[in-house]
Amino acid sequence: MTLEKFEYDNRIVRAFIIATVVFGLVGMLVGLTIAIQLFYPDLNLGIPYTSFGRLRPLHTNAIIFAFVGNSVFAGVYYSLQRLLKARMFSDMLSWINFWGWQLIIVAAAITLPLGITTSKEYAELEWPIDIAITLIWVVFGINMIGTILKRRERHMYVAIWFYIATFITVAVLHVVNSFEMPVTFLKSYSWYAGVQDALVQWWYGHNAVAFFLTTPVLGLMYYFLPKAANRPVYSYRLSIIHFWSLIFIYIWAGPHHLLYTSLPDWAQSLGTVFSIMLIAPSWGGMLNGLLTLRGAWDKVREEPVLKFMVVAVTAYGMATLEGPLLSLKNINAIAHFSDWIIAHVHIGGLGWNGFMAFGIMYYLIPKMYQTKLYSTKLANTHFWIGTLGIVIYALPMYVAGVVQSLMWKQFTPDGLLVYGNFLETVNAIKPMYVMRAIGGALYLTGAIMMSYNLVKTAKQGSFLGNEADEAPTLEKKKIVGGHWHSVLERKPVVFTTLAFVAILIGGVIEMVPTFLIESNVPTISSVKPYTPLELQGRDIYIREGCNSCHSQMIRPFRSETVRYGEYSKAGEFVYDHPFLWGSKRTGPDLHRVGDKLTESWHYSHMYEPTSTSPGSIMPPYPWLFENIIDPNEVLPKISAMRSLGVPYEEGYEEIAVQDYMAQANKVVNEIKSQNAELKDQVIVPESEIVALIAYLERLGKDIKGNSEETANK
């Protein structure tokens, strides 16, 4: 048997690790900043680029795609070469993947603080960047599949199954959710509207967590945990069950983010059923990881790499039990829109993703630099500080979530809300926000310690850029016998096709009826398209990230209808591109705010929130009073909306600016007539604040006195 000599490429792995560390620190610092802003609003600094609504999507994108994304690429590029006994298919594609991904991250870091956003959770980046993501993801896929096809190891190890599922599923999710109608170079509207947009978004959002933050990291777990422990994976059969059941079931669970909303009940029920089913494969994977360490617990006590991985896998188990439990309607009724969800998300983010990334980097840097870790003691200190940070972060958020929900729902014996002022519920949990920031600061401190440790490790070693190995050439031969799955593992094209079919079934069954059966989204005859001024105001609302703190979805609970007004109907959102239901109530729901507050109240509130709401943690928006809009900007937006099916009349653009200015002048007159102090103030009708107020005043008024849902014929 002739052995071929070849080399593994460690340079690309090092590059992704450096990016992981740098962007991880940046993402965590931004996260700490917005955590402090929730109890110290002055940290918003009174400028647009550092306001909570603009920084929050920057934080989530930096952690998900920059920190975790780069760590996944580093782990995949390292493990794939060794599992397949082959250098990556193309060094050039590897570097295109690296630099393309970093440019996408930089583009996100520039556009999001500028308010250039689609507002869709985990998919906020605008259409040119979406196209770039697609191209770079295809480059990654070609490089991975090319490496698999030229492999010298016939058998595809379990980690590779998860890498394949990640590539094909993320591609499908991203493309389907990113259908949008460009208006300008950096502005678009979602192709979908209202209920349909919500379903597609949370099909994407839930499965972005599943197939970007979970399946690739599970693949890394299956490689690095046994390597670090020097033990074989506990159960091959359990790996098979874990993989196929997980990728098939996960894709159905997205609607559990939309329980008690205007989504059709059958879709909500499907999401709940499959979410509960997810417990079995998720815990199967967790147990397979932890039981791999049987007989190696003495090593766990000594090795910081294994410490991080044990806590990571345990956090994965906790999050994947809690997620299905949160999909039960009785628990969801309490937890949704509250800080409980923030705790749940960060158990996964800080514990599962963060600690797995830390463990992998502590493993890889000494290996590639042919030395020992600079300081095991410092790594162990990082472990305990990081673990303490997670606990101090999450526990107050669980308490805050329960406190919020109980206060929102509490009635007096006379049937009145005990806490009718939403601000009372905010002030009650401010101490928990302080504790969360302390936990986040501890976690960031640990990451800084790790960065120092890794740099010192690199300096004391010698980097091995091309690591030599040898293996026999893979010979083509007829497969005879063997376990059915072992046969499948030798046929990457068949394997990939079956995985693609498995992830496609759930999405098709949920979405096709919602789009094709008219009764799933009944219309309301009184609901009309937004006026030009309201459309412009809605875009400002999106730009400022208002939906990060305010929902527009009143659920059919007595506590919500008494507080906010009539519950939300599916037909009210048919012209909403994109939907703005929100996922967190840091402030009150706004779906019926047009019936409750005056134009002058909004004017004063946006300039100085505490002037109308003492104790408010909302930042002021002085730039809205200074920025002037050219009314002609709305014309291409109306044209784009018409292309999406919004019934603006042909040729409406000819009078749209006239309508815009007429309504703007009316809003200005209302503001001045309602507040004597503002009577002599100069309020420019073309200012952004006027457009935003027009949009807020519109909310909820379409069905006033006409809430019966009737199909428009």
Cα(578)–Cα(192) distance, integer angstroms = 7
Backbone angles phi, psi at 116, to 5 degrees: -90, 100
For residue 528, give the 3-state DSSP assignment: coil
Are 565 and 177 in contact, with CB atoms under 8 Å apart?
A: no
Q: DSSP states of 378-399 as a string?
A: HHHHHHHHHHHHHHHHHHHHHH
Cα(160)–Cα(183) distance, integer angstroms = 40
Are 634 and 646 in contact, with CB atoms under 8 Å apart?
A: no
Whether 59 has a binding-site annotation, put simply, is yes
Q: What single letter denotes the amino acid at residue 329?
A: K
Tokens representing residue 472 in the block: 């026999």
Cα(497)–Cα(482) distance, integer angstroms = 21
Whether 485 has a binding-site annotation, put simply, is no
- Which of these, 119, 114, 21, 13, lies nearest to 62 by C-alpha position? 21
Tell me the torsion sign for CA atoms 47, 52, 54, 59.
Answer: positive
Tokens representing residue 522 in the block: 């009944």
Whether 206 has a binding-site annotation, put simply, is yes
Cα(339)–Cα(166) distance, integer angstroms = 29
R_g of the chain, CA atoms, integer Å: 27
For residue 6, give the 3-state DSSP assignment: strand
For 191, how many CA atoms within 13 A lie in the half-sphere containing its CB?
9
Cα(569)–Cα(527) distance, integer angstroms = 11
Q: DSSP states of 660-695 as a string?
A: HHHHHHHHHHHHHHH-GGGTTS---TTBHHHHHHHH
Are 108 and 64 in contact, with CB atoms under 8 Å apart?
A: no
Whether 256 has a binding-site annotation, put simply, is yes
Cα(437)–Cα(463) distance, integer angstroms = 37
- Which of these, 85, 94, 73, 83, lies nearest to 4 by C-alpha position? 85
- Which of these, 620, 566, 576, lies nearest to 190 by C-alpha position? 576
Residues whose CB is less than 8 angstroms from the CB of residue 580 and which lie 6 or more positions away in sequence, other chains included: 119, 538, 541, 542, 547, 552
H or E element in which residue 158 lies = helix 158-177
Cα(237)–Cα(593) distance, integer angstroms = 55
10 Å CB burial of residue 627 (0-12, 13-18, 19+) is middle
CA angle 118, 124, 125 (to 5 degrees): 95
CA distances from 534 to 158, 181, 574, 624, 632 (A): 53, 19, 15, 15, 14
Cα(619)–Cα(49) distance, integer angstroms = 12
Tokens representing residue 415 in the block: 């049937």
Question: Per this entry, what is the length of the chain?
Answer: 713
Are 124 and 114 in contact, with CB atoms under 8 Å apart?
A: no
Backbone angles phi, psi at 401, to 5 degrees: -60, -45
| Nearest-10 Cα torsion for 328, 332, 334, 340 | 120
CA distances from 327 to 256, 258, 506, 656 (A): 5, 9, 17, 45
Cα(240)–Cα(236) distance, integer angstroms = 7
Cα(213)–Cα(126) distance, integer angstroms = 21
Which segments are annotated as binding site? 59, 206, 256-257, 344, 346
Which segments are annotated as binding site for Cu cation? 206, 256-257
Which segments are annotated as binding site for heme b? 59, 344, 346
